[in-house]
Amino acid sequence: MLKFIKKILKNKYLKFLTNLYVISTLLFFFWMMFMDANSYLFHKELNKEINELKEQKKKLKTEIEKDKKFIENLNKIENYEAYAREKFFMKKDDEEIYVIEFKDTIEK
C-alpha cells in the first residue's frame, strides 16, 4: 500500500496539483468566479439587465419621436378639432353627434 501511495505522489500531474501555489491560485479563481460579491455570474446578470434596458431605451425613443410628430400634427387647428371630435366626442354649437357602435366594439 505504501508503494502505491509513493507511486501516486511521483506522478507529475498530481505533484503539480498538490503544489501550494497551484492550490491557492485555483481556490482564488474559484472564489472570484462564483463566491465573491463581484463574481462573474453577478456581472453576467448585470450585463444582461443592461442590454434589456438599452433595448427598452430604444423603444421609448421611437415612441417619443412618434409622440412628437403627433403633437406637431395637433398644432394645426384643423387637426386639433378633428382629434377632439374623434376621441372626446366634442362638437360645435350647431352640430349634433351620433355615436355608432358595433357589437364587436362594445365592452361587456
Domain boundaries of the chain, sorted by first residue: 2-64
**pLDDT, tens only, 41-60:** 888 999 999 999 999 999 99
Residues 45, 38 contacting (CB under 8 angstroms): no
Of the candidates 1, 6, 8, the one whose C-alpha atom is nearest the C-alpha of residue 17 is 8
* 9 pLDDT higher than 70: no
Q: Which three cell numbers stand for residue 60?
A: 421609448
Q: Taking residues 28-47, what's their average pLDDT?
A: 83
Distances (CA, A) of 69 to 52, 62, 76, 88: 26, 11, 12, 20
Q: What is the 3-state secondary structure (H, E, C) of the chain?
A: CHHHHHHHHHCHHHHHHCCHHHHHHHHHHHHHHHHCCCCHHHHHHHHHHHHHHHHHHHHHHHHHHHHHHHHHHHCCHHHHHHHHHHHHCCCCCCCCCCCCCCCCCCCC
Q: How confident is the model at residue 5 (pLDDT cuts 50, 70, 90)?
A: low
What pLDDT was estimated at residue 63?
97
Q: Taking residues 2-25, what's their average pLDDT?
A: 73
pTM: 0.51
